[in-house]
Homo-oligomer: A and B are copies of this chain.
Protein backbone atom coordinates (compact mmCIF):
# COMPACT_ATOMS: atom_id res chain seq x y z
CA UNK A 1 0.00 0.00 0.00
CA UNK A 2 2.63 2.48 1.07
CA UNK A 3 4.72 1.75 -1.98
CA UNK A 4 1.76 2.16 -4.32
CA UNK A 5 1.12 5.59 -2.85
CA UNK A 6 4.82 6.30 -2.97
CA UNK A 7 4.68 5.77 -6.69
CA UNK A 8 1.82 8.23 -6.93
CA UNK A 9 3.79 10.91 -5.20
CA UNK A 10 6.95 10.36 -7.22
CA UNK A 11 5.00 10.32 -10.42
CA UNK A 12 3.16 13.53 -9.59
CA UNK A 13 6.19 15.42 -8.41
CA UNK A 14 7.85 14.62 -11.71
CA UNK A 15 4.82 15.78 -13.63
CA UNK A 16 4.45 19.02 -11.77
CA UNK A 17 7.45 20.44 -13.59
CA UNK A 18 5.60 20.16 -16.84
CA UNK A 19 1.96 20.60 -15.88
CA UNK A 20 -0.43 22.99 -14.29
CA UNK A 21 -0.04 26.66 -13.62
CA UNK A 22 3.44 26.29 -12.27
CA UNK A 23 4.85 25.84 -15.77
CA UNK A 24 3.56 29.19 -17.00
CA UNK A 25 6.44 30.81 -15.22
CA UNK A 26 8.98 28.31 -14.06
CA UNK A 27 10.47 30.60 -11.42
CA UNK A 28 10.77 29.14 -7.94
CA UNK A 29 8.16 30.53 -5.57
CA UNK A 30 9.07 31.75 -2.11
CA UNK A 31 8.60 30.01 0.16
CA UNK A 32 8.39 26.90 -2.01
CA UNK A 33 4.76 26.05 -2.47
CA UNK A 34 4.03 22.69 -0.94
CA UNK A 35 4.78 19.92 -3.47
CA UNK A 36 1.70 19.70 -5.64
CA UNK A 37 0.00 16.46 -6.36
CA UNK A 38 -2.12 16.14 -9.48
CA UNK A 39 -5.10 13.82 -9.60
CA UNK A 40 -4.50 12.35 -6.16
CA UNK A 41 -7.86 11.18 -4.75
CA UNK A 42 -9.08 12.27 -1.30
CA UNK A 43 -9.79 10.26 0.78
CA UNK A 44 -7.05 7.89 -0.36
CA UNK A 45 -8.22 4.53 -1.74
CA UNK A 46 -7.38 1.29 0.03
CA UNK A 47 -5.21 0.05 -2.83
CA UNK A 48 -3.99 2.14 -5.73
CA UNK A 49 -1.33 1.79 -8.38
CA UNK A 50 -0.76 4.70 -10.69
CA UNK A 51 1.27 4.26 -13.85
CA UNK A 52 3.23 7.01 -15.54
CA UNK A 53 1.22 6.46 -18.69
CA UNK A 54 -0.93 9.50 -19.30
CA UNK A 55 -4.19 9.49 -21.18
CA UNK A 56 -6.45 12.30 -22.27
CA UNK A 57 -10.20 12.62 -21.82
CA UNK A 58 -12.11 14.47 -24.50
CA UNK A 59 -15.09 16.45 -23.31
CA UNK A 60 -16.72 16.30 -26.75
CA UNK A 61 -16.83 12.51 -26.96
CA UNK A 62 -16.48 11.10 -23.43
CA UNK A 63 -19.35 8.89 -22.25
CA UNK A 64 -20.44 7.02 -19.18
CA UNK A 65 -21.54 3.58 -20.38
CA UNK A 66 -23.76 1.50 -18.18
CA UNK A 67 -23.73 -2.31 -18.15
CA UNK A 68 -27.49 -2.81 -17.92
CA UNK A 69 -30.17 -1.82 -20.41
CA UNK A 70 -32.04 0.24 -17.83
CA UNK A 71 -30.37 2.77 -15.62
CA UNK A 72 -31.83 3.78 -12.25
CA UNK A 73 -32.19 7.41 -11.21
CA UNK A 74 -29.26 7.18 -8.80
CA UNK A 75 -26.74 6.42 -11.55
CA UNK A 76 -28.47 8.42 -14.25
CA UNK A 77 -28.28 11.58 -12.18
CA UNK A 78 -24.75 10.74 -11.08
CA UNK A 79 -23.58 10.50 -14.69
CA UNK A 80 -24.98 13.96 -15.43
CA UNK A 81 -23.49 15.33 -12.22
CA UNK A 82 -20.04 13.89 -12.75
CA UNK A 83 -19.86 14.99 -16.35
CA UNK A 84 -20.33 18.55 -15.10
CA UNK A 85 -17.90 18.08 -12.23
CA UNK A 86 -15.17 16.73 -14.52
CA UNK A 87 -15.58 19.12 -17.42
CA UNK A 88 -16.88 22.26 -15.67
CA UNK A 89 -16.17 25.30 -17.80
CA UNK A 90 -13.02 26.91 -16.50
CA UNK A 91 -11.72 28.75 -19.55
CA UNK A 92 -12.68 32.20 -18.28
CA UNK A 93 -9.95 32.20 -15.68
CA UNK A 94 -7.19 32.14 -18.30
CA UNK A 95 -6.75 35.07 -20.60
CA UNK A 96 -6.14 34.67 -24.30
CA UNK A 97 -2.56 35.88 -24.09
CA UNK A 98 -1.75 33.16 -21.62
CA UNK A 99 -2.96 30.46 -23.98
CA UNK A 100 -0.47 31.56 -26.58
CA UNK A 101 2.28 31.43 -24.00
CA UNK A 102 1.11 28.03 -22.90
CA UNK A 103 1.08 26.64 -26.40
CA UNK A 104 4.62 27.73 -27.03
CA UNK A 105 5.74 26.44 -23.64
CA UNK A 106 4.07 23.08 -23.82
CA UNK A 107 4.36 22.15 -27.44
CA UNK A 108 2.47 19.23 -28.84
CA UNK A 109 0.26 16.72 -27.09
CA UNK A 110 2.34 13.84 -28.36
CA UNK A 111 3.38 12.73 -24.89
CA UNK A 112 -0.08 11.30 -24.20
CA UNK A 113 -0.49 7.59 -24.80
CA UNK A 114 -4.14 7.54 -25.75
CA UNK A 115 -7.63 8.63 -24.91
CA UNK A 116 -10.20 7.39 -22.42
CA UNK A 117 -13.36 7.57 -24.49
CA UNK A 118 -15.73 6.05 -21.94
CA UNK A 119 -16.08 4.78 -18.41
CA UNK A 120 -17.80 1.39 -18.36
CA UNK A 121 -19.86 1.16 -15.19
CA UNK A 122 -20.73 -2.38 -14.10
CA UNK A 123 -23.08 -2.28 -11.14
CA UNK A 124 -26.56 -3.18 -10.03
CA UNK A 125 -28.91 -0.21 -10.16
CA UNK A 126 -32.24 -0.40 -8.36
CA UNK A 127 -34.52 2.56 -7.85
CA UNK A 128 -36.12 3.56 -4.56
CA UNK A 129 -33.51 2.07 -2.29
CA UNK A 130 -31.77 3.91 0.52
CA UNK A 131 -28.21 3.61 1.76
CA UNK A 132 -27.86 1.97 5.18
CA UNK A 133 -25.32 1.02 7.81
CA UNK A 134 -24.71 -2.23 5.94
CA UNK A 135 -24.42 -0.79 2.43
CA UNK A 136 -21.51 -2.10 0.40
CA UNK A 137 -19.50 0.88 -0.85
CA UNK A 138 -16.58 -1.07 -2.26
CA UNK A 139 -15.58 -0.79 -5.91
CA UNK A 140 -12.77 -1.42 -8.31
CA UNK A 141 -11.62 1.09 -10.90
CA UNK A 142 -9.29 0.19 -13.76
CA UNK A 143 -7.93 2.60 -16.33
CA UNK A 144 -5.73 0.50 -18.57
CA UNK A 145 -2.64 1.72 -20.42
CA UNK A 146 -4.72 1.56 -23.57
CA UNK A 147 -7.41 3.80 -22.12
CA UNK A 148 -10.07 1.19 -21.32
CA UNK A 149 -11.77 2.39 -18.14
CA UNK A 150 -13.98 0.15 -16.02
CA UNK A 151 -15.74 0.74 -12.72
CA UNK A 152 -17.21 -2.30 -10.95
CA UNK A 153 -19.31 -2.38 -7.81
CA UNK A 154 -21.63 -4.90 -6.17
CA UNK A 155 -24.02 -2.21 -4.98
CA UNK A 156 -24.89 1.10 -6.56
CA UNK A 157 -23.36 2.90 -3.55
CA UNK A 158 -19.94 1.54 -4.49
CA UNK A 159 -20.49 2.80 -8.04
CA UNK A 160 -21.14 6.31 -6.64
CA UNK A 161 -17.91 6.20 -4.64
CA UNK A 162 -16.01 5.00 -7.69
CA UNK A 163 -17.43 7.78 -9.87
CA UNK A 164 -16.17 10.30 -7.34
CA UNK A 165 -12.70 8.74 -7.39
CA UNK A 166 -12.71 8.68 -11.20
CA UNK A 167 -13.58 12.39 -11.28
CA UNK A 168 -10.70 13.13 -8.92
CA UNK A 169 -8.12 11.25 -10.99
CA UNK A 170 -8.70 13.66 -13.86
CA UNK A 171 -6.84 16.96 -13.89
CA UNK A 172 -6.08 19.63 -16.47
CA UNK A 173 -2.65 20.24 -17.94
CA UNK A 174 -1.52 23.80 -18.59
CA UNK A 175 -3.15 23.77 -22.01
CA UNK A 176 -6.49 22.87 -20.46
CA UNK A 177 -6.44 19.27 -21.69
CA UNK A 178 -8.11 16.82 -19.34
CA UNK A 179 -5.59 14.17 -18.38
CA UNK A 180 -5.47 11.09 -16.20
CA UNK A 181 -2.94 8.38 -15.61
CA UNK A 182 -3.50 4.68 -16.14
CA UNK A 183 -4.55 3.53 -12.70
CA UNK A 184 -5.69 0.48 -10.83
CA UNK A 185 -7.78 0.89 -7.69
CA UNK A 186 -9.42 -1.50 -5.24
CA UNK A 187 -11.29 0.48 -2.67
CA UNK A 188 -13.59 0.03 0.31
CA UNK A 189 -14.18 2.13 3.41
CA UNK A 190 -12.49 1.37 6.71
CA UNK A 191 -15.64 2.39 8.64
CA UNK A 192 -19.30 2.03 7.70
CA UNK A 193 -20.55 5.19 9.40
CA UNK A 194 -18.79 8.37 8.30
CA UNK A 195 -20.92 11.22 9.46
CA UNK A 196 -21.22 14.97 9.70
CA UNK A 197 -23.44 16.73 12.24
CA UNK A 198 -25.08 20.04 11.32
CA UNK A 199 -27.12 21.95 13.88
CA UNK A 200 -30.10 23.81 12.42
CA UNK A 201 -31.44 25.03 15.76
CA UNK A 202 -28.90 27.59 17.02
CA UNK A 203 -28.82 29.08 13.53
CA UNK A 204 -31.13 28.16 10.69
CA UNK A 205 -29.51 26.77 7.55
CA UNK A 206 -31.22 27.17 4.19
CA UNK A 207 -31.97 24.22 1.90
CA UNK A 208 -29.35 25.60 -0.50
CA UNK A 209 -26.65 25.39 2.13
CA UNK A 210 -27.75 21.91 3.25
CA UNK A 211 -27.61 20.70 -0.35
CA UNK A 212 -24.22 22.26 -1.07
CA UNK A 213 -22.97 20.55 2.03
CA UNK A 214 -24.36 17.18 0.90
CA UNK A 215 -22.53 17.68 -2.39
CA UNK A 216 -19.24 18.30 -0.62
CA UNK A 217 -19.87 15.40 1.78
CA UNK A 218 -20.27 13.02 -1.15
CA UNK A 219 -17.08 14.44 -2.67
CA UNK A 220 -15.35 13.41 0.56
CA UNK A 221 -17.11 10.01 0.69
CA UNK A 222 -18.92 10.89 3.92
CA UNK A 223 -22.17 8.93 4.06
CA UNK A 224 -24.25 10.11 7.05
CA UNK A 225 -25.86 13.51 7.49
CA UNK A 226 -26.57 13.66 11.23
CA UNK A 227 -29.25 16.34 11.25
CA UNK A 228 -29.37 17.91 14.71
CA UNK A 229 -32.56 19.56 13.56
CA UNK A 230 -34.00 21.01 16.80
CA UNK A 231 -32.69 22.08 20.20
CA UNK A 232 -33.45 24.49 23.04
CA UNK A 233 -33.14 27.57 20.85
CA UNK A 234 -35.50 26.74 18.01
CA UNK A 235 -37.72 24.02 16.56
CA UNK A 236 -37.56 24.44 12.79
CA UNK A 237 -39.01 20.97 12.00
CA UNK A 238 -42.58 21.46 10.75
CA UNK A 239 -44.38 18.44 12.20
CA UNK A 240 -47.56 17.30 10.51
CA UNK A 241 -48.90 15.83 13.77
CA UNK A 242 -47.90 18.79 15.97
CA UNK A 243 -47.67 21.85 13.68
CA UNK A 244 -47.67 24.15 16.70
CA UNK A 245 -44.20 22.95 17.64
CA UNK A 246 -42.61 24.93 14.80
CA UNK A 247 -45.35 27.56 14.77
CA UNK A 248 -44.39 28.45 18.31
CA UNK A 249 -40.88 27.08 18.55
CA UNK A 250 -39.18 28.19 15.31
CA UNK A 251 -37.26 31.46 15.12
CA UNK A 252 -39.79 32.37 12.45
CA UNK A 253 -42.67 30.01 11.73
CA UNK A 254 -42.78 30.89 8.05
CA UNK A 255 -39.23 31.59 6.95
CA UNK A 256 -37.12 29.54 9.38
CA UNK A 257 -38.72 26.09 9.11
CA UNK A 258 -38.29 22.83 7.24
CA UNK A 259 -41.62 21.75 5.80
CA UNK A 260 -42.43 18.09 5.17
CA UNK A 261 -41.68 18.79 1.52
CA UNK A 262 -38.30 20.35 2.37
CA UNK A 263 -37.34 17.33 4.49
CA UNK A 264 -38.27 14.96 1.66
CA UNK A 265 -36.19 17.04 -0.72
CA UNK A 266 -33.12 16.82 1.51
CA UNK A 267 -33.54 13.07 2.05
CA UNK A 268 -33.82 12.50 -1.70
CA UNK A 269 -30.85 14.77 -2.45
CA UNK A 270 -28.82 12.80 0.07
CA UNK A 271 -30.02 9.40 -1.20
CA UNK A 272 -28.90 10.21 -4.74
CA UNK A 273 -25.42 10.81 -3.30
CA UNK A 274 -25.41 7.67 -1.15
CA UNK A 275 -25.87 9.64 2.06
CA UNK A 276 -28.10 8.58 4.94
CA UNK A 277 -30.09 11.25 6.79
CA UNK A 278 -30.32 10.55 10.52
CA UNK A 279 -32.39 13.12 12.37
CA UNK A 280 -31.68 13.90 15.99
CA UNK A 281 -34.57 14.78 18.30
CA UNK A 282 -32.61 15.25 21.49
CA UNK A 283 -34.41 14.78 24.84
CA UNK A 284 -35.06 15.02 27.79
CA UNK A 285 -32.66 18.02 27.90
CA UNK A 286 -32.22 20.48 25.02
CA UNK A 287 -36.01 20.69 24.59
CA UNK A 288 -36.94 24.27 25.58
CA UNK A 289 -38.32 24.97 22.09
CA UNK A 290 -40.56 21.83 22.26
CA UNK A 291 -42.35 23.03 25.36
CA UNK A 292 -43.97 26.09 23.82
CA UNK A 293 -46.56 24.04 22.00
CA UNK A 294 -46.89 20.90 24.15
CA UNK A 295 -48.57 21.63 27.48
CA UNK A 296 -46.93 20.04 30.55
CA UNK A 297 -44.18 18.40 28.50
CA UNK A 298 -41.41 20.29 30.28
CA UNK A 299 -40.81 20.24 34.02
CA UNK A 300 -41.96 23.37 35.84
CA UNK A 301 -39.10 24.61 38.02
CA UNK A 302 -39.89 25.72 41.57
CA UNK A 303 -38.26 28.33 43.73
CA UNK A 304 -39.23 28.97 47.39
CA UNK A 305 -42.09 26.48 47.14
CA UNK A 306 -43.68 28.19 44.11
CA UNK A 307 -43.33 27.77 40.33
CA UNK A 308 -40.56 30.15 39.24
CA UNK A 309 -41.89 30.56 35.73
CA UNK A 310 -38.89 28.68 34.31
CA UNK A 311 -39.06 25.25 32.81
CA UNK A 312 -36.50 22.43 32.71
CA UNK A 313 -36.05 19.10 30.90
CA UNK A 314 -38.97 16.94 29.77
CA UNK A 315 -41.05 15.83 32.78
CA UNK A 316 -40.62 12.06 33.11
CA UNK A 317 -43.29 11.78 35.84
CA UNK A 318 -46.38 12.35 33.67
CA UNK A 319 -47.97 9.67 31.50
CA UNK A 320 -48.96 12.38 29.00
CA UNK A 321 -45.25 12.77 28.22
CA UNK A 322 -45.05 9.25 26.83
CA UNK A 323 -48.29 9.57 24.89
CA UNK A 324 -46.82 12.61 23.20
CA UNK A 325 -43.51 10.86 22.51
CA UNK A 326 -45.33 7.85 21.03
CA UNK A 327 -47.27 10.07 18.62
CA UNK A 328 -44.34 12.29 17.78
CA UNK A 329 -41.86 9.51 17.04
CA UNK A 330 -44.57 7.64 15.12
CA UNK A 331 -44.40 10.54 12.67
CA UNK A 332 -40.61 10.78 12.72
CA UNK A 333 -40.27 7.06 12.03
CA UNK A 334 -42.25 7.41 8.81
CA UNK A 335 -40.80 10.73 7.63
CA UNK A 336 -37.17 9.61 7.94
CA UNK A 337 -36.53 6.33 6.12
CA UNK A 338 -33.21 5.45 7.79
CA UNK A 339 -33.28 2.57 10.27
CA UNK A 340 -31.65 4.81 12.88
CA UNK A 341 -32.93 7.83 14.77
CA UNK A 342 -30.65 9.84 17.07
CA UNK A 343 -32.37 10.30 20.43
CA UNK A 344 -29.82 12.51 22.15
CA UNK A 345 -29.85 12.09 25.92
CA UNK A 346 -26.92 14.44 26.64
CA UNK A 347 -26.38 17.17 29.21
CA UNK A 348 -29.45 16.73 31.39
CA UNK A 349 -29.41 19.10 34.35
CA UNK A 350 -31.12 17.76 37.49
CA UNK A 351 -31.65 21.16 39.18
CA UNK A 352 -35.17 21.76 37.89
CA UNK A 353 -36.24 18.16 38.48
CA UNK A 354 -35.01 18.47 42.09
CA UNK A 355 -37.16 21.56 42.67
CA UNK A 356 -40.42 20.11 41.36
CA UNK A 357 -42.83 18.51 43.91
CA UNK A 358 -44.49 16.18 41.34
CA UNK A 359 -41.07 14.80 40.48
CA UNK A 360 -40.17 14.46 44.15
CA UNK A 361 -43.35 12.47 44.73
CA UNK A 362 -42.63 10.31 41.68
CA UNK A 363 -39.07 9.66 42.89
CA UNK A 364 -40.37 8.51 46.27
CA UNK A 365 -43.01 6.37 44.65
CA UNK A 366 -40.41 4.68 42.46
CA UNK A 367 -37.97 4.27 45.34
CA UNK A 368 -35.22 6.21 43.55
CA UNK A 369 -34.20 8.11 46.70
CA UNK A 370 -32.13 11.10 45.59
CA UNK A 371 -30.65 9.33 42.56
CA UNK A 372 -31.84 11.50 39.66
CA UNK A 373 -29.68 9.51 37.24
CA UNK A 374 -32.22 6.71 37.87
CA UNK A 375 -35.00 9.08 36.80
CA UNK A 376 -33.13 9.93 33.63
CA UNK A 377 -32.58 6.21 33.03
CA UNK A 378 -36.32 5.60 33.53
CA UNK A 379 -37.16 8.26 30.95
CA UNK A 380 -34.62 7.09 28.39
CA UNK A 381 -35.70 3.44 28.68
CA UNK A 382 -39.35 4.39 28.11
CA UNK A 383 -38.35 6.51 25.11
CA UNK A 384 -36.08 3.83 23.66
CA UNK A 385 -38.84 1.24 24.01
CA UNK A 386 -41.27 3.51 22.17
CA UNK A 387 -38.82 3.94 19.32
CA UNK A 388 -37.97 0.21 19.26
CA UNK A 389 -41.69 -0.47 19.03
CA UNK A 390 -41.72 1.64 15.88
CA UNK A 391 -39.15 -0.75 14.36
CA UNK A 392 -36.37 1.80 14.53
CA UNK A 393 -32.91 1.53 16.00
CA UNK A 394 -31.30 4.43 17.78
CA UNK A 395 -28.12 6.34 18.37
CA UNK A 396 -27.62 8.04 21.73
CA UNK A 397 -25.00 10.30 23.27
CA UNK A 398 -22.68 8.59 25.75
CA UNK A 399 -24.37 9.89 28.93
CA UNK A 400 -27.24 7.45 28.53
CA UNK A 401 -24.80 4.56 28.91
CA UNK A 402 -22.74 6.40 31.51
CA UNK A 403 -25.92 6.64 33.61
CA UNK A 404 -26.45 2.89 33.33
CA UNK A 405 -29.61 2.72 31.19
CA UNK A 406 -30.44 -0.61 29.53
CA UNK A 407 -30.52 -0.22 25.78
CA UNK A 408 -31.22 -2.48 22.80
CA UNK A 409 -28.32 -4.49 21.41
CA UNK A 410 -28.21 -2.66 18.05
CA UNK A 411 -27.91 0.71 19.84
CA UNK A 412 -25.07 2.93 18.70
CA UNK A 413 -23.40 5.01 21.42
CA UNK A 414 -21.82 8.28 20.29
CA UNK A 415 -18.80 9.41 22.34
CA UNK A 416 -18.35 13.17 22.50
CA UNK A 417 -16.81 14.14 25.85
CA UNK A 418 -13.18 14.69 26.85
CA UNK A 419 -11.49 11.49 28.00
CA UNK A 420 -12.82 9.75 24.93
CA UNK A 421 -10.05 7.18 24.63
CA UNK A 422 -11.08 5.56 27.94
CA UNK A 423 -14.76 5.96 27.09
CA UNK A 424 -14.38 4.15 23.75
CA UNK A 425 -12.78 1.30 25.64
CA UNK A 426 -15.56 1.27 28.25
CA UNK A 427 -18.49 1.51 25.84
CA UNK A 428 -17.19 -1.26 23.59
CA UNK A 429 -16.41 -3.45 26.61
CA UNK A 430 -20.14 -3.26 27.38
CA UNK A 431 -20.74 -4.66 23.90
CA UNK A 432 -22.23 -1.56 22.30
CA UNK A 433 -21.59 -0.33 18.81
CA UNK A 434 -19.95 3.06 18.99
CA UNK A 435 -19.22 6.25 17.05
CA UNK A 436 -16.47 8.72 17.85
CA UNK A 437 -17.18 12.45 17.70
CA UNK A 438 -15.11 13.90 20.57
CA UNK A 439 -11.94 14.93 18.70
CA UNK A 440 -13.88 16.36 15.78
CA UNK A 441 -15.86 19.30 17.14
CA UNK A 442 -15.15 21.64 14.25
CA UNK A 443 -17.07 24.54 15.78
CA UNK A 444 -13.94 25.14 17.89
CA UNK A 445 -11.61 27.12 15.69
CA UNK A 446 -7.90 27.71 15.54
CA UNK A 447 -5.38 28.10 12.76
CA UNK A 448 -4.18 24.90 11.06
CA UNK A 449 -6.04 22.45 13.28
CA UNK A 450 -6.65 19.80 10.63
CA UNK A 451 -3.58 17.67 11.51
CA UNK A 452 -5.09 17.15 14.97
CA UNK A 453 -8.32 15.90 13.40
CA UNK A 454 -6.36 13.77 10.98
CA UNK A 455 -4.32 12.02 13.65
CA UNK A 456 -7.25 11.06 15.93
CA UNK A 457 -8.01 7.38 15.33
CA UNK A 458 -11.32 5.86 16.53
CA UNK A 459 -9.69 2.49 17.20
CA UNK A 460 -6.79 3.88 19.18
CA UNK A 461 -7.86 2.63 22.62
CA UNK A 462 -7.21 -0.36 24.84
CA UNK A 463 -9.48 -3.20 23.80
CA UNK A 464 -9.80 -6.57 22.11
CA UNK A 465 -10.31 -7.06 18.39
CA UNK A 466 -14.00 -7.67 19.13
CA UNK A 467 -14.16 -4.30 20.86
CA UNK A 468 -12.42 -2.54 17.96
CA UNK A 469 -14.90 -4.16 15.57
CA UNK A 470 -17.73 -2.46 17.46
CA UNK A 471 -16.46 0.94 16.26
CA UNK A 472 -18.84 1.84 13.43
CA UNK A 473 -16.97 5.02 12.57
CA UNK A 474 -17.32 8.60 13.63
CA UNK A 475 -18.71 12.03 13.00
CA UNK A 476 -17.39 15.52 12.47
CA UNK A 477 -19.66 17.95 14.35
CA UNK A 478 -20.10 21.64 13.72
CA UNK A 479 -22.48 22.96 16.37
CA UNK A 480 -24.44 26.00 15.32
CA UNK A 481 -23.70 28.73 17.88
CA UNK A 482 -21.35 30.66 15.60
CA UNK A 483 -22.13 29.42 12.10
CA UNK A 484 -24.92 30.00 9.63
CA UNK A 485 -25.19 30.32 5.87
CA UNK A 486 -22.56 33.06 5.86
CA UNK A 487 -19.63 30.98 7.10
CA UNK A 488 -20.62 27.32 7.53
CA UNK A 489 -19.16 25.89 4.34
CA UNK A 490 -15.87 27.79 4.41
CA UNK A 491 -15.33 26.97 8.08
CA UNK A 492 -16.18 23.30 7.57
CA UNK A 493 -14.25 22.48 4.40
CA UNK A 494 -11.69 21.14 3.98
CA UNK A 495 -11.24 20.75 7.75
CA UNK A 496 -13.89 18.02 7.73
CA UNK A 497 -11.99 16.39 4.86
CA UNK A 498 -9.31 15.43 7.38
CA UNK A 499 -11.96 13.47 9.30
CA UNK A 500 -13.27 11.99 6.05
CA UNK A 501 -9.91 10.46 5.15
CA UNK A 502 -9.47 9.16 8.69
CA UNK A 503 -12.81 7.33 8.42
CA UNK A 504 -12.50 6.03 4.86
CA UNK A 505 -8.81 5.27 4.29
CA UNK A 506 -6.63 2.61 5.92
CA UNK A 507 -5.23 3.49 9.35
CA UNK A 508 -1.76 3.52 7.77
CA UNK A 509 -2.54 6.93 6.27
CA UNK A 510 -1.26 8.71 9.33
CA UNK A 511 1.43 11.06 8.08
CA UNK A 512 0.28 14.67 7.95
CA UNK A 513 3.35 15.64 5.95
CA UNK A 514 2.36 13.27 3.17
CA UNK A 515 -1.27 14.35 3.50
CA UNK A 516 -0.52 18.09 3.22
CA UNK A 517 -0.04 18.40 -0.56
CA UNK A 518 -2.95 16.03 -1.11
CA UNK A 519 -5.39 17.97 1.08
CA UNK A 520 -4.15 21.18 -0.59
CA UNK A 521 -4.98 19.69 -3.97
CA UNK A 522 -8.33 18.52 -2.65
CA UNK A 523 -9.19 21.99 -1.33
CA UNK A 524 -8.34 23.50 -4.74
CA UNK A 525 -10.46 20.76 -6.34
CA UNK A 526 -13.43 21.77 -4.17
CA UNK A 527 -12.81 25.45 -4.96
CA UNK A 528 -12.69 24.71 -8.68
CA UNK A 529 -16.01 22.90 -8.33
CA UNK A 530 -17.53 26.03 -6.81
CA UNK A 531 -17.37 25.43 -3.04
CA UNK A 532 -15.74 27.97 -0.71
CA UNK A 533 -13.22 25.57 0.85
CA UNK A 534 -10.76 27.70 2.82
CA UNK A 535 -6.94 27.59 2.64
CA UNK A 536 -5.46 25.46 5.45
CA UNK A 537 -1.72 25.55 5.09
CA UNK A 538 -0.51 29.12 4.67
CA UNK A 539 0.32 31.07 1.51
CA UNK A 540 -0.87 29.29 -1.63
CA UNK A 541 -2.97 29.61 -4.72
CA UNK A 542 -5.31 27.48 -6.80
CA UNK A 543 -5.28 27.21 -10.58
CA UNK A 544 -8.95 28.14 -10.50
CA UNK A 545 -9.70 30.41 -7.57
CA UNK A 546 -13.08 30.74 -5.89
CA UNK A 547 -15.54 32.81 -7.90
CA UNK A 548 -17.38 34.89 -5.36
CA UNK A 549 -20.49 35.54 -7.43
CA UNK A 550 -21.28 32.14 -8.92
Q: Are B535 and A292 in contact (CB under 8 A)?
A: no
Stretch of A131-139, A243-251, A510-518 with 4 or more beta carbons under 8 angstroms from chain B: A243-251
The distance from the CB of A453 to the nearest CB of chain B, in whole angstroms, is 16
The distance from the CB of A78 to the nearest CB of chain B, in whole angstroms, is 22
The interface bits of chain A over 90-105 (1 if a CB of B lies within 8 angstroms of the residue's CB, else 0) are 0001110110010000
The distance from the CB of A481 to the nearest CB of chain B, in whole angstroms, is 5
Known A204-B541, A446-B445, A534-B483; contact A30-B288, beta-carbon cutoff 8 A: yes
* Copies held by the complex: 2
When C-beta atoms are compared, the residue in chain B nearest to A484 turns out to be B535
Tell yes or no: A482 within 8 A of B by CB: yes
Q: Are B289 and A21 in contact (CB under 8 A)?
A: no
Tell yes or no: A386 within 8 A of B by CB: no
Enumerate chain B residues within 8 angstroms of A209, measured Cβ to Cβ.
Answer: 548
Tell yes or no: A465 within 8 A of B by CB: no
Tell yes or no: A270 within 8 A of B by CB: no
Known A482-B447, A486-B490, A535-B486; contact A206-B545, beta-carbon cutoff 8 A: yes
The interface bits of chain A over 519-550 (1 if a CB of B lies within 8 angstroms of the residue's CB, else 0) are 00000000100001111101111010111111
**A27 in complex: contacting residue of B201, B249, B490, B533, CB < 8 Å:** B249
The distance from the CB of A53 to the nearest CB of chain B, in whole angstroms, is 28
Stretch of A37-45, A252-260, A375-383 with 4 or more beta carbons under 8 angstroms from chain B: A252-260
Known A30-B288, A95-B255, A232-B30; contact A487-B491, beta-carbon cutoff 8 A: yes
Known A255-B93, A548-B206; contact A535-B482, beta-carbon cutoff 8 A: yes
Q: Are A482 and B538 in contact (CB under 8 A)?
A: yes
In the assembled complex, the Cα of A289 lies from the Cα of B31 at a distance in Å of 10
The B-contacting residues of A in range 212-234, CB under 8 angstroms, are 212, 232-234
Enumerate chain B residues within 8 angstroms of A232, measured Cβ to Cβ.
Answer: 30-31
Tell yes or no: A109 within 8 A of B by CB: no
Enumerate chain B residues within 8 angstroms of A247, measured Cβ to Cβ.
Answer: 25
Tell yes or no: A300 within 8 A of B by CB: no
Q: Are B486 and A253 in contact (CB under 8 A)?
A: no
Tell yes or no: A463 within 8 A of B by CB: no
Enumerate chain B residues within 8 angstroms of A252, measured Cβ to Cβ.
Answer: 21, 24-25, 541, 543
The B-contacting residues of A in range 282-325, CB under 8 angstroms, are 288-289, 292
The interface bits of chain A over 184-210 (1 if a CB of B lies within 8 angstroms of the residue's CB, else 0) are 000000000000000001111010110
Tell yes or no: A485 within 8 A of B by CB: yes
In the assembled complex, the Cα of A538 lies from the Cα of B445 at a distance in Å of 14
**A485 in complex: contacting residue of B27, B484, B548, CB < 8 Å:** B548
The distance from the CB of A286 to the nearest CB of chain B, in whole angstroms, is 10
Interface SS majority for chain A: loop
In the assembled complex, the Cα of A289 lies from the Cα of B98 at a distance in Å of 20
Among A445, A481, A547, residue most surrounded by chain B Cβ atoms (within 10 Å): A481
Enumerate chain B residues within 8 angstroms of A114, measured Cβ to Cβ.
Answer: none
Enumerate chain B residues within 8 angstroms of A549, measured Cβ to Cβ.
Answer: 208, 550
Known A206-B545, A541-B252; contact A487-B233, beta-carbon cutoff 8 A: no
**A545 in complex: contacting residue of B24, B233, B485, B545, CB < 8 Å:** B485
Enumerate chain B residues within 8 angstroms of A445, measured Cβ to Cβ.
Answer: 445-447
When C-beta atoms are compared, the residue in chain B nearest to A247 turns out to be B25
Enumerate chain B residues within 8 angstroms of A97, measured Cβ to Cβ.
Answer: 254
Enumerate chain B residues within 8 angstroms of A550, measured Cβ to Cβ.
Answer: 549-550
In the assembled complex, the Cα of A487 lies from the Cα of B483 at a distance in Å of 13
In the assembled complex, the Cα of A97 lies from the Cα of B255 at a distance in Å of 11
Enumerate chain B residues within 8 angstroms of A255, measured Cβ to Cβ.
Answer: 21, 93-95, 98, 543, 545
In the assembled complex, the Cα of A30 lies from the Cα of B230 at a distance in Å of 12
Tell yes or no: A29 within 8 A of B by CB: yes
Tell yes or no: A506 within 8 A of B by CB: no
**A487 in complex: contacting residue of B204, B256, B444, B532, CB < 8 Å:** B532
Tell yes or no: A357 within 8 A of B by CB: no
Enumerate chain B residues within 8 angstroms of A444, measured Cβ to Cβ.
Answer: 447
Enumerate chain B residues within 8 angstroms of A256, measured Cβ to Cβ.
Answer: 541, 545
Tell yes or no: A480 within 8 A of B by CB: yes
Q: Are B234 and A29 in contact (CB under 8 A)?
A: yes
Known A21-B252, A255-B98, A535-B482; contact A233-B491, beta-carbon cutoff 8 A: no
Among A31, A486, A543, residue most surrounded by chain B Cβ atoms (within 10 Å): A486
Q: Are A535 and B251 in contact (CB under 8 A)?
A: no
**A532 in complex: contacting residue of B486, B534, B539, CB < 8 Å:** B486
Apart from A25-B248, A487-B491, A487-B534, what 16 extra A-B contacts exist at CB < 8 Å?
A25-B247, A27-B248, A27-B249, A30-B288, A201-B539, A202-B538, A203-B539, A204-B541, A233-B539, A251-B541, A447-B482, A481-B535, A481-B539, A485-B546, A486-B490, A486-B532
19 A-B contact pairs sorted by A residue (CB < 8 Å): A25-B247, A27-B249, A29-B233, A30-B288, A98-B254, A203-B541, A204-B541, A206-B546, A208-B549, A445-B446, A445-B447, A446-B446, A481-B535, A482-B534, A482-B535, A484-B534, A485-B545, A485-B547, A486-B490
Residues of chain A at the chain B interface (Cβ within 8 Å):
21, 24-25, 27, 29-31, 93-95, 97-98, 101, 201-204, 206, 208-209, 212, 232-234, 247-256, 288-289, 292, 444-448, 480-487, 490-491, 527, 532-536, 538-541, 543, 545-550
